[in-house]
């Protein structure tokens, strides 16, 4: 059976929050928090461009691989790891950003099971309906460009991605969810998407997944009913909000 490998790309110099993955909450760094949530699975690897993160990961006995510092995204970093450890073409990789601290292990299981079912070169990701929310929630949600929404067809394949700050005229047949940036692919698919050149729309929106859509790769959204919709840390304010909510 295809093996599962979870890769956590951890870049030191985050643009909006420098040294983000080494920020501490309750005495532990963000990278340790996400690793501890995932170690119920075999083959959890941290992929980083920084010796500081390597040293931190070794403190809590994580498997860590030092990668090229010139990668522009987590996909490229994951692909370097795949080459270094020589995975089989049908092994399954799940790319988990280390700031997705509300991650559910069920999401990982669902992505893995979805990819087991097909020989197609598809990418699986997670989305969730925001449901009925208060007016203040929507006002805050739509102000934050870090919030990304996915538009889907009747079979839950992505047709578009947009930031919550951008408005679109929607067709009645289109579903729209909040997108959670966790991606699963087989090795053979990852190796192909990692070689794609950035597209015009990707550069405008700063959303890498648009590159995949524009190159005709299918992205299957696995819709979750979890009440929370992810908690991504992108700014100092996000970090302070997380500390106050005592999620960890």
Over residues 34-63, the mean pLDDT reads 96
Q: 216 φ, ψ to 5°?
A: 70, 25
Task: Give the rounded percent of residues in the chain with a pLDDT score beyond 70.
Answer: 91
Is 226 a residue whose pLDDT tops 90?
Answer: no
Tokens of 96: 């988990």
Distance CA 88, CA 8 (A): 19
Instruction: Please answer whether residues 184 and 123 qualify as being in contact, where contact means their C-beta atoms are separated by less than 8 angstroms.
Output: yes
* pLDDT per position as a tens digit, 54-103: 999 999 999 999 999 889 899 999 999 999 998 999 999 999 988 788 88
Residue found by looking up tokens 């996400």 in the block:
34
Distance CA 46, CA 65 (A): 6
Domains and CATH numbers, the chain: 4-245 (3.90.550.10)
Over residues 147-163, the mean pLDDT reads 93
Distance CA 202, CA 36 (A): 32
Is 208 a residue whose pLDDT tops 90?
Answer: yes
Is 229 a residue whose pLDDT tops 70?
Answer: no
* pLDDT per position as a tens digit, 173-184: 788 899 998 999
- Under the banding of pLDDT at 50, 70 and 90, the label for residue 132 is low
Sign of torsion over alpha carbons 96, 50, 192, 178:
positive
Residues contacting residue 26 through CB under 8 Å, at least 6 positions apart:
248
Instruction: Please answer whether residues 186 and 194 qualify as being in contact, where contact means their C-beta atoms are separated by less than 8 angstroms.
Output: no
Residues contacting residue 109 through CB under 8 Å, at least 6 positions apart:
none
């Amino acid at each position: 059976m295809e093996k599962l490998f979870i890769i956590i790309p951890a870049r030191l110099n985050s643009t909006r929050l420098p040294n983000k993955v080494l920020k501490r909450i309750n005495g532990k760094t963000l990278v340790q928090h996400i690793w501890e949530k995932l170690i119920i699975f075999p083959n959890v690897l941290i992929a980083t461009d920084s010796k500081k993160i390597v040293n931190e990961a070794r403190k809590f006995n994580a498997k860590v691989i030092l990668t090229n510092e010139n990668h522009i995204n987590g996909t490229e970093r994951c692909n370097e790891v795949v080459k270094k450890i020589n995975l089989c073409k049908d092994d399954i990789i799940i790319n988990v950003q280390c700031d997705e601290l509300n991650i559910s292990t069920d999401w990982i299981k669902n992505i893995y099971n979805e990819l087991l079912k097909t020989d197609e070169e598809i990418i699986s990701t997670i989305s969730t309906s925001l449901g009925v929310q208060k007016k203040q929630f929507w006002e805050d949600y739509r102000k934050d460009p870090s919030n990304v929404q996915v538009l889907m067809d009747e079979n839950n394949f992505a047709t578009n991605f947009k930031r919550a700050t951008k408005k679109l005229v929607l067709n009645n047949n289109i579903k729209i969810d909040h997108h959670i940036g966790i991606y699963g692919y087989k090795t053979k698919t990852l190796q192909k998407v990692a070689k794609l050149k950035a597209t015009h729309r990707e550069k405008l929106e700063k959303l890498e997944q648009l590159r995949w859509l524009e190159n005709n790769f299918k992205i299957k959204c696995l819709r979750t009913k979890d009440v929370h919709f992810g908690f991504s840390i992108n700014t100092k304010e996000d970090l302070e909000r997380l500390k106050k909510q005592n999620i960890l």
